[in-house]
A and B are shown apart, each in its own frame.
Chain A
Amino acid sequence: MFDFLSDYDDPTLLGAFWVTVQLTVLSAIGSLIWGTLLAAMRVSPVPLMRGFGTAYVNIVRNIPLTVIIVFTSLGLANIFGVTMGVPDDFEAKAFRLAVLGLVAYTGAFVCEAIRSGINTVPVGQAEAARAIGLSFSQVLRLIVLPQAFRSVIGPLANVLIALTKNTTVAATIGVAEAALLMKDMIENEAQTVLIGAVFAFGFVVLTLPTGLILGWLSKRLAVKR
């Protein structure tokens, strides 16, 4: 029943999912960093930074991811000549552009999750931190963000699960991840429903542990008040 799977070796099923995992992990790291920076901008006392953070989030999270990913390839790469350090390697370039697009997009959602976490930290925490002479960035890094992160691990798990599934959009610019292989298989094979089930199962295998582990972490790391 599953014999059709052995006809695919470039990439294999596991190979394609491995690319999905790489896209997810790199984009997750990038968007957590970028999202935290954006959140810091949105609460900063500098009006210019606050303005940039607000404008960025409101523009980027309202554009379809497909438009952003396609723009990285057709816009950034083809028109503006962005090569991502690999001008001649089409596959690597597409992969890196996809990570860039996913980070830009997911960062906006990470930012909003963290910002809602910042709002759960009592004002007194920041006041006490300022009162012992910490600077704005120290108050944020040492006192507010660590507590904010712990209170939004649950919502961040949602963002990361969405990111895992959103990596399928990278297929539109030719990144050889799971969804691109699925499209190939559906074109060439008869067992459409079975193929769909195999890939759906593959994504559940990736996302279920994310939700469970982060759910456990959020309970364990919760700040007791």
Chain B
Amino acid sequence: MTEVSVAKEDVAATGELVVLKSVNKHFGALHVLQDIDLTIARGEVVVVIGPSGSGKSTLCRTINRLETTDSGSITIDGNPLPAEGKALAKLRADVGMVFQSFNLFAHKTVLENVMLGQIKVRKKDKKAAEERARALLDRVGVGAQAEKYPAQLSGGQQQRVAIARALAMEPKVMLFDEPTSALDPEMINEVLEVMQQLARDGMTMIVVTHEMGFARSAANRVVFMADGRIVEEAAPDQFFSNPRSDRAKDFLSKILHH
């Protein structure tokens, strides 16, 4: 008996971190997520790609329940995702989220943005929170902008602050919902470099993106979605050089030959 339970805990501690089982969601008549099964291991970097409207952003947002689901189960580190209330808030604190439109708190300085969750959710004292916030801002390369307001920063800087804000909560997993899609081309790399660094440091990451270069170099696995289904899952090399499904071949031929 003891051995069995120890073995189970072992699996939870080292293996599967995010598990989605037959998740379904509708927007009205549109079946936007269809029987999604997806397992993400601890330390894994999974890149979700696919044509727009394929449900990849929705998938990303269901994992911390910014979108509700109609059926199926989502567990994070062995705990089923609570429907609402304090339990949900507690779980969200463990799941970092980076948005396409940055969503930094507009009325707070960069430093306050990164301190807020630490103080209000993690109950850290102000001094420790500020120390960690400044260290994280230095790490993503915007330490000099700490006293400014978000609107005074470039898009790339704002997105790096948003990554620091999510990291400040010491999340178990980070969700990136098209983090570079709203950026000017010359700012995309500064954000991708921060994400590459995170991946190398062993952070578990789920990244919805159109940046195929990032998928190739940083991902352990590529998940290809189309029309609300996961069509293909493969290692990046295999997926980009030798996609199995016609849908993926079609998609890649459209984006890679320009």
Residues of A within 8 A of B (CB): 45, 122, 124-125, 127-135, 138, 142-143, 146-147, 150, 223-225
Q: Which of B93, B99, B107 meets A127, CB within 8 Å?
A: B99
Q: Is B257 an interface residue (CB 8 A)?
A: no
Given A132-B165, A224-B151, does the pair A125, B103 have CB atoms closer than 8 Å? yes
Contacts of B169 in A (CB 8 A): 132-133
Cα-based distance from A130 to B162 in the complex (angstroms): 14
Cα-based distance from A133 to B120 in the complex (angstroms): 9
| Contact digits for B178-205, partner A, Cβ 8 Å, 1 yes 0 no | 0000000000000000000000000000
Pairs A–B under 8 Å by Cβ, sample size 10:
A127-B99, A131-B95, A132-B116, A132-B165, A133-B92, A133-B117, A133-B121, A133-B169, A134-B117, A147-B107
Cα-based distance from A127 to B235 in the complex (angstroms): 32
Task: Say yes or no: B66 contacts A225, CB within 8 Å.
Answer: no
Cα-based distance from A122 to B66 in the complex (angstroms): 15
Q: Which of B106, B151, B152 meets A125, CB within 8 Å?
A: B106
Task: Say yes or no: A134 contacts B120, CB within 8 Å.
Answer: yes
Task: Say yes or no: B106 contacts A224, CB within 8 Å.
Answer: yes
Task: Say yes or no: B89 contacts A130, CB within 8 Å.
Answer: yes
Q: Is B249 an interface residue (CB 8 A)?
A: no
Contacts of B90 in A (CB 8 A): 133
Task: Say yes or no: A128 contacts B120, CB within 8 Å.
Answer: no
Given A143-B105, A224-B106, does the pair A130, B86 have CB atoms closer than 8 Å? no
What is the predominant secondary structure among interface residues of chain A facing chain B? helix
Task: Say yes or no: B151 contacts A142, CB within 8 Å.
Answer: no
| Contact digits for B83-113, partner A, Cβ 8 Å, 1 yes 0 no | 0101001111111110101011111000000
Contacts of B248 in A (CB 8 A): none
Contacts of A131 in B (CB 8 A): 64, 66, 92, 95-97, 166
Contacts of B240 in A (CB 8 A): none
In the complex, number of A-B residue pairs with CB atoms less than 8 Å apart? 70
What is the predominant secondary structure among interface residues of chain B facing chain A? mixed
Return the chain A residue nearest B91 by Cβ.
A133
Cα-based distance from A224 to B109 in the complex (angstroms): 12
Q: Is B214 an interface residue (CB 8 A)?
A: no
Contacts of B117 in A (CB 8 A): 132-134
Given A134-B89, A142-B116, A142-B120, does the pair A128, B99 have CB atoms closer than 8 Å? yes
Task: Say yes or no: B151 contacts A132, CB within 8 Å.
Answer: no
Cα-based distance from A124 to B95 in the complex (angstroms): 17
Cα-based distance from A135 to B85 in the complex (angstroms): 7
Contacts of A147 in B (CB 8 A): 106-107
Return the chain A residue nearest B105 by Cβ.
A143
Given A131-B66, A134-B117, does the pair A124, B93 have CB atoms closer than 8 Å? no
Cα-based distance from A143 to B169 in the complex (angstroms): 17
Cα-based distance from A147 to B104 in the complex (angstroms): 13
Return the chain B residue nearest A138 by Cβ.
B120
Cα-based distance from A125 to B105 in the complex (angstroms): 6
Shortest beta-carbon distance, B152 to chain A, in Å? Answer: 8
Q: A131-B92, A132-B92, A133-B91 are in contact. List 18 more A-B contacts (CB 8 A).
A: A122-B101, A124-B99, A128-B97, A129-B105, A131-B64, A131-B66, A131-B166, A132-B117, A133-B92, A133-B94, A133-B117, A135-B89, A142-B116, A142-B120, A146-B107, A150-B107, A223-B106, A223-B107
